[in-house]
Structure 1
Amino acid sequence: MQKTLFELVNEVQDEESFIVFLSALSKDRQACPDEWQHDSIESFLEAAADWSQESVNGLTHYEKPDNSWKRCAQIMYMGKFYE
C-alpha cells in the first residue's frame, strides 16, 4: 500500500526521509495537478514561504517540530495548499 503525502511528511526525520518525501511531492504534482493551489513554482514557493512565516511560532492546530528536516518537509507540503 502506497503512503499518502500526509503520512510521508509526518515520517520525515532525516535527509533520507526528506528526499523520499520530495520525490513523492513531485510525483503528486504530476499525477494530481488539479489538487494543487498553485500553477507555477513561483506561486508555490511564495505560498510555502508565507505559511512558514505564519507558523514560525506554531498555530492553533499545529505544533512546530524540533526536527529541522520535518519542518522543511511541512513547509514544502503546505506550499501545495496554502493561499
Structure 2
Amino acid sequence: MQKTLFELVNEVQDEVTFIAFLSALHKDRQAHADEWQQDSIDSYLEAAADWGQESVDGLIHYEKPDNPWKRCAQIMYMGKIYE
C-alpha cells in the first residue's frame, strides 16, 4: 500500500527521506493539483514561508520537531494546504 504524503512527511528523518518526500510532493502536485491551495510556485513558496514563520515557536496543535529535515519537510507540506 502506498503511503500518503502526510505519512511521508512525518517519516522524514534525514537527507534520504527528505528527498523521497520531495519526490512524493512533486508527484502529488502532478496528480492532485486540484487539492492544492496554491496555483503557482510564488503562492506556494509564500504560503510555506508564512506557515513556517507562524509556527517557528510551535502552535497549539503543532509541536515543532528538533529534526531540521523533518521541519523543512513540514514547512514544504504546509505550503500545499496553508491559506
Aligned to 2:48: 48
TM-score w.r.t. structure 2 length? 0.99
TM-score w.r.t. structure 1 length? 0.99
Instruction: Report the Cα distance in structure 2 between the residues aligned to 1:8 and 1:33, rounded to whole angstroms.
Output: 18
The answer as to 2:11 corresponding to 1:11 is: yes
- In structure 2, the gaps of 5 or more residues are none
Instruction: Report the Cα distance in structure 2 between the residues aligned to 1:41 and 1:70, rounded to whole angstroms.
Output: 21
Aligned to 1:60: 60
**Runs of 4 or more consecutive aligned structure 1 residues displaced over 2 Å after TM superposition:** none
The answer as to 2:81 corresponding to 1:78 is: no
Instruction: Report the Cα distance in structure 2 between the residues aligned to 1:38 and 1:77, rounded to whole angstroms.
Output: 12
The alignment partner of 2:60 has SS state of: coil
- In structure 1, the gaps of 5 or more residues are none
Instruction: Report the Cα distance in structure 1 between the residues aligned to 2:37 and 2:7, rounded to whole angstroms.
Output: 20
- TM-superposed CA distance for 1:6, in Å, is 0.4
Give the aligned CA root-mean-square deviation in angstroms: 0.3
- TM-superposed CA distance for 1:63, in Å, is 0.1
Q: State the number of aligned residues.
A: 83
